[in-house]
Structure 1
């Protein structure tokens, strides 16, 4: 007869913390193997509808359907990268103009510092030289690590399509493995979890692609209107970098400002670039993200930011990109396992209730007086009697 051993809370907490530490350590050590597999898994989910279309509508054999799907994906990515590389070659030819205009702005900044902070150009130059000498030794290491990173990136770009092809090819085999791994009474729950993971990841990634396209189009149009050279290229780069939450758009803005110096040294051009980026981000953050992305993955902002930081620490840019899909997968699993439901709730993002304050509807984030049975879509009215401390819910 099997007996269940009940452990005290501190023992359970210790095991949980040790498991998390071990898992993060394995991800950090094996990131060069694990990250490409996860990315290939996500791409396989996206490409599966194409495989199904080729198999059932066009009557392609399974292997040929998978091969065509991966080839379409690789061709699309290669076309975008080829266009970017050709445009970057043109930008390099304008490097002298960029350097000349950048020097003009640097001299203007030096003059401003001289007039307001009473530092001569010579003193400013000495400060710059000291900073340069401090980082000179690091420069060699950065160059070496950059070359190594480029080699790793090239290898990853080759291996991911291969992984994607094999995952799609052996999809049924992997499903049978999972069925054999769990007892028959858990098969229905397993099928439900896998279907929800597929829907969540596919919806999120497709929403992200749609957001990228809209940001690319809006940025390209805005930069073209103000006369920035290479507007389409900069729009594409902004859309791609926007896939990296919070950080990508800052990098895109800096690149756009630098490239804009190839056409003019006027400050009005830089201000125009900033205004275009600001308008696009306002549209993106207030319309596209809530409508297209956030509606697909119900994860609260705190967990998102922490996940992105952890992902970036473990695997750099790839980890930041994969953070939200991985969190979404974990939330689906936690929500379907009884003992893990509290963690799924913690990661989630309930639709905030609203209350009226001076005829203005505001989100209510204080759930102290609410019960678990309160529906998320119920509007709660608040009466303000004398002071904010006297708020009571009807």
Structure 2
């Protein structure tokens, strides 16, 4: 055992920089686990600024001064935030409320469909199983309706906290963009003066994560926007709510698309029944998913090292278990960052000389 541990230490931690970087990664992970909820606005602002920095860099390459590029990008971000808060968010909330109000009718139609299953497939589906599924669905729908009704004066503290975040996040994003070099240099002064390995890993992580995060943000907007237009043209109810879910589903490859297909199919079925309109909705949804996976993703992520599907599922399970919903949301960027770190990590292949005891 001692020989194995000594071999691993010699192979992966023979470089002093590697030891320092490992300690920094461990300390950073512990810090985020303990103080992540407290510093959520700062972390969210840092991620948003990281995404917007790519657009600032492109404007700089076109000859636009950096400060003017930062102001222009920040104004676009602020306009998008205002449009989301006062345009898209009220529409989504209205559709969620309408969906909750129609829950009894949907549950009634679902019961009708479920009651037919034991008659058509008596060997596969029993009446007891149908009653159990129906009871679970009714309970969950009742909880959702009760939560929507109870969203009143008792939620004022959460609304106030949300308003504080809405004010803090844009301010932090602006200063992260404006003083990016100052902040990076302040952190760099705490590191060893000679750090070629850290610089190489930083460039690799920055390239992979920047391409992935910015590409994902653009993919969410494109997929969500195209889905909204398609559903509106086809007369699909709750188009804004469903398009938001479809757009966010691309954050988790494979799993997200499979999960979001269920509410899309259910709402389409309850709205149109087993008819041609329902078939057209599902065909349009399938075409969007196919174009996203086979055309849009290769274009947006041509420079990103693809993760194996098993690695994606493990990352979602692991980070989701640690940080809940936020862990699921950022599982793939974190896995991409870890893969970039491992790819650039210095590895010494030579075997260490035996000790005297050996």
- TM score, norm. by length of structure 2: 0.68
2:231 corresponds, among 217, 223, 229, to: 223
Q: What secondary structure does 2:307 align onto?
A: coil
- Is 1:166 matched up with 2:166? no
Q: Structure 1 pair 43/8, CA: closer, same or farther in 2 (3 Å)?
A: farther
1:314 corresponds, among 294, 299, 322, to: 322
Please give the alpha-carbon distance, in whole angstroms, between the structure 1 residues aligned to 2:130 and 2:197: 66
Task: Tell me how far 1:321 sits from its aligned partner.
Answer: 2.6
Contact preservation (8 Å) 2:42, 2:172: yes
Task: Tell me how far 1:339 sits from its aligned partner.
Answer: 3.4
1:150-299 matched pairs, under 5 angstroms: 159-186=168-195, 188-224=196-232, 226-231=234-239, 234-260=242-268, 263-266=271-274, 268-293=276-301, 295-299=303-307
Equivalence for 1:301: 309
Q: Structure 1 pair 153/287, CA: closer, same or farther in 2 (3 Å)?
A: farther
Could you report, residue by residue, the CA deviation over 1:230-262 in whole angstroms, capped at 9, with x for unpaired residues? Answer: 546533441233223344334433343454467
Contact preservation (8 Å) 1:243, 1:321: yes
Please give the alpha-carbon distance, in whole angstroms, between the structure 1 residues aligned to 2:107 and 2:136: 21
Looking at CA atoms only, which structure, 1 or 2, has the larger radius of gyration? 1
- Is 1:113 matched up with 2:118? yes
Task: Tell me how far 1:309 sits from its aligned partner.
Answer: 1.8
Equivalence for 1:366: none
Could you report, residue by residue, the CA deviation over 1:44-79 in whole angstroms, capped at 9, with x for unpaired residues? Answer: 22222554648995657x4x8656543431321331
Please give the alpha-carbon distance, in whole angstroms, between the structure 2 residues aligned to 1:140 and 1:134: 10
Q: Structure 1 pair 296/34, CA: closer, same or farther in 2 (3 Å)?
A: farther
1:87 corresponds, among 83, 91, 98, to: 91
Please give the alpha-carbon distance, in whole angstroms, between the structure 2 residues aligned to 1:121 and 1:336: 58
Please give the alpha-carbon distance, in whole angstroms, between the structure 1 residues aligned to 2:7 and 2:207: 33
Unaligned segments of structure 2, at least 5 residues:
14-18, 350-358
Equivalence for 2:353: none
Q: Which structure is higher in helix share?
A: 2
Contact preservation (8 Å) 2:253, 2:312: no
How many residue pairs get matched?
330
Please give the alpha-carbon distance, in whole angstroms, between the structure 1 residues aligned to 2:39 and 2:280: 42
Please give the alpha-carbon distance, in whole angstroms, between the structure 1 residues aligned to 2:318 and 2:206: 24
- Is 1:9 matched up with 2:9? no
Q: What secondary structure does 1:249 align onto?
A: helix
Equivalence for 1:367: none
User: Higher mean Cα deviation, 107-116 or 253-262?
Assistant: 253-262
1:31 corresponds, among 36, 55, 58, to: 36
Contact preservation (8 Å) 1:42, 1:201: no
Larger RCO, structures 1/2 (Cα 8 Å, 6+ apart):
2
Task: Tell me how far 1:286 sits from its aligned partner.
Answer: 3.0
